[in-house]
């Protein structure tokens, strides 16, 4: 994946830390990145629970979207093209023949304006010009990070002056073990979803919907990531012996737990889908704060609308018109199980 690595310098970077008792959240204006979250385990040890780097250069050289806002459209757009109001738009092909996470220079590569910064709140703004990565319309995005107690809420509002697709997400990689002491295969995950979207060999949704019952994609009562990743099931095998699958949500919280540290994460959202990605494509040629990167070192819970929705008639409409406002909201609530 080629990126424009000369556009952002360390001197352009603003690091802002939100604090509440028992939690610290560091956010960058580069990519709107959640660079670090530090919370306590059951013994009171404050440690990091996300994957991230200490320098802009490391993000530019190695990051698979660690902690970033991705868009204009998260996930893959098939064959890197779409039709909007009768016009076909070619997009940047940065994932084989497909368009991924907004293209070569998507929102994850952008420098946001800091509108407001406080100890419990950060407001960032981004202007995306007409034609950026092939998308039509000028788009203004406002992203607000609000910390209340042990809950971090990210809201995103966007407007456009021309009909354009918008389907944003936050791409934080979670690892609740603390300072990457262990991988995420023995994390326990609960997703209240009866239905998932099968993906092809290129990880693009097929357009079908399948029942999770009797498959390693059934997380309704909770399961270890390892139990599905090592199941040999065709779906998990196609995703690199792991997960890169969209699940349709019911409005109930998603819950991630690390039994060893006792840390838990509860995710609630206004989005209809969560993509579970278990880091199967993480490369091994760099370090993350002193720990060698490797597959399954972190997992993503990407809340959004169905991937490739702009090209799939059976999926929800993601086109935003000039008289509309796009709205995305997700809350990450941390806790500890003392059992």
Task: Give the residue among 50, 22, 66, 32 at the shortest CA–CA distance from 283.
Answer: 66
Classify residue 157 by burial, with Cβ atoms within 10 Å: 0-12, 13-18, 19+: middle
- Residue 154 CB contacts under 8 Å (≥ 6 apart), including other chains: 143, 144, 145, 146, 170, 328, 329, 330, 331, 332
CA 160 to chain centroid: 22
Is 240 in contact with 134 (CB distance < 8 Å)?
Answer: no
Catalytic status, residue 171: yes
Task: Report the C-alpha gap between 331 and 49 in whole angstroms.
Answer: 16
For residue 115, how many other CB atoms are within 10 A of its CB?
12
End-to-end CA distance of the chain: 44
Beta bridge partners of 329: 155
Separation of CA 285 from chain center: 22
**Residue tagged active-site, from 98, 171, 187, 306:** 171
Q: For residue 59, give the H/E element and its range.
A: helix 56-62
Is 11 in a helix, a strand, or coil? helix
Q: Which of 169, 171, 143, 168 is nearest to 64 (CA)?
A: 171
Q: CB neighbours of 118 closer than 8 A, spacing ≥ 6?
A: none
Distance CA 178, CA 38 (A): 8
Q: How many CA atoms lie within 13 A of 243 on its CB side?
A: 30
Distance CA 320, CA 167 (A): 10
Catalytic positions are: 171, 302
């Amino acid at each position: 994946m080629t990126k424009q690595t000369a556009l952002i310098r360390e001197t352009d970077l603003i690091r802002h830390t939100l604090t509440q008792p028992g939690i610290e959240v560091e956010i960058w204006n580069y990519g709107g990145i959640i660079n670090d979250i530090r919370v306590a385990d059951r013994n009171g040890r404050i440690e990091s629970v996300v994957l991230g780097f200490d320098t802009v250069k490391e993000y530019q050289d190695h990051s698979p979207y660690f902690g970033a806002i991705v868009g204009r459209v998260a996930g893959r757009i098939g064959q890197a093209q779409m039709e909007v109001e009768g016009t076909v738009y070619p997009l940047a092909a940065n994932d084989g023949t497909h368009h991924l996470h907004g293209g070569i220079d998507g929102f994850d590569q952008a420098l946001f304006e800091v509108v407001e910064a406080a100890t419990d709140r950060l407001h960032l703004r981004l202007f995306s010009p007409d034609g950026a990565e092939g998308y039509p319309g000028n788009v203004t995005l406002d992203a607000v990070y609000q910390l209340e107690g042990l809950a971090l809420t990210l809201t995103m509002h966007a407007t456009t002056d021309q009909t354009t697709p918008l389907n944003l997400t936050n791409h934080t990689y979670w690892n609740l073990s603390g300072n990457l002491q262990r991988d995420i295969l023995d994390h326990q995950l609960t997703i209240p979803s009866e239905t998932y979207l099968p993906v092809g060999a290129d990880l693009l949704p097929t357009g079908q919907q399948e029942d999770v019952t009797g498959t390693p994609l059934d997380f309704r009562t909770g399961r270890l990531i390892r139990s599905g990743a090592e199941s040999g099931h065709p779906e998990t095998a196609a995703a690199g012996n792991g997960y890169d699958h969209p699940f349709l949500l019911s409005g109930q919280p998603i819950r991630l737990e690390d039994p060893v540290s006792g840390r838990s994460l509860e995710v609630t959202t206004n989005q209809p889908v969560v993509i579970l990605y278990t880091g199967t494509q993480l490369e091994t040629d760099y370090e993350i704060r002193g720990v060698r990167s490797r597959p399954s070192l972190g997992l993503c819970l990407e809340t959004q609308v169905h991937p490739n929705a702009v090209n799939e008639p059976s999926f929800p409409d993601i086109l935003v018109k000039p008289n509309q406002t796009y709205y995305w909201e997700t809350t990450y609530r941390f806790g500890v199980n003392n059992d």
